[in-house]
Amino acid sequence: MKKNIAVFASGTGSNFININNEIKKNKINAKICLLISNNSNSGAVKFCINNKIDFFIYNDKKFPNDINNQKLIDKIIPYEIDLVLLAGYMKRISKNFIDLFDKKIMNIHPSLLPLYGGKGFYGMNVHNAVFSNKETQTGATIHFVDYNYDTGPILMQKKINIKKDKSPAQIAKKVLKIEHEIYPKAVNFFCENKILWEDNKPIIKE
């Protein structure tokens, strides 16, 4: 059975677009039913407009005081979503929303969590810190979402060697490349029902 996916993205949306492409190539048995974005000028929203994918702009300006994300929940429920993907989403998600999609919300983070995760570690901040600490390796992490930033159970990580990289920008480029490799894989494992849970840890059964 095809899984229904909702993606949350605030920016360029390259992970979202990449996953959508993999679905179109029949590499993943799923459908992206809805994009949620706080940013109506984002690349992710533009892609939806051009590709006739439903989207919903959800931000404080449009919905002031919606602290429990009720308006978001009301919007998403009719889509019968099986999996929620955070792909560069810059806003906090409420406990209510997370509880509604227990073990069904994944995030991608551009570091080897728990390193360089948590408040303030997003976008180039991550790669700048990795570079200035002279790390020899970094990578990307896919994890399920819990109530805090970047602390949920890890599903998958990929490491890369950055000894020869001369700038945070170079590192960022390399990391994004592996993000595009591992996020579709993780989504595919979910869609093929290959993720099992033992003691609150996700295990991939291939």
79 or 149: CB nearest ligand GRF: 149
Token reading at 41: 């000028």
Position with the least CB separation from ligand GRF: 88
- Shortest gap between Cβ of 22 and ligand GRF (angstroms)? 14
Q: Which is nearer to ligand GRF, 71 or 151 (CB)?
A: 151
- Nearer CB in complex with ligand GRF: 63/149: 149
Which of residues 137 and 193 has its CB atom nearest to ligand GRF in the complex?
137
Decide if 109 is catalytic.
yes
As given in the structure block, the two tokens for residue 160 are 């890369």
The residues of the shown chain that bind ligand GRF, judged by CB under 6 A, are: 9, 11-15, 87-88, 108-110, 176, 179
CB of 82 to ligand GRF, least distance (A): 21
CB of 139 to ligand GRF, least distance (A): 11
Least distance between ligand GRF and beta carbon 133 (Å): 18
- Among 109, 127, 143, 180, which one carries the catalytic annotation? 109
* Residues classed as catalytic: 109
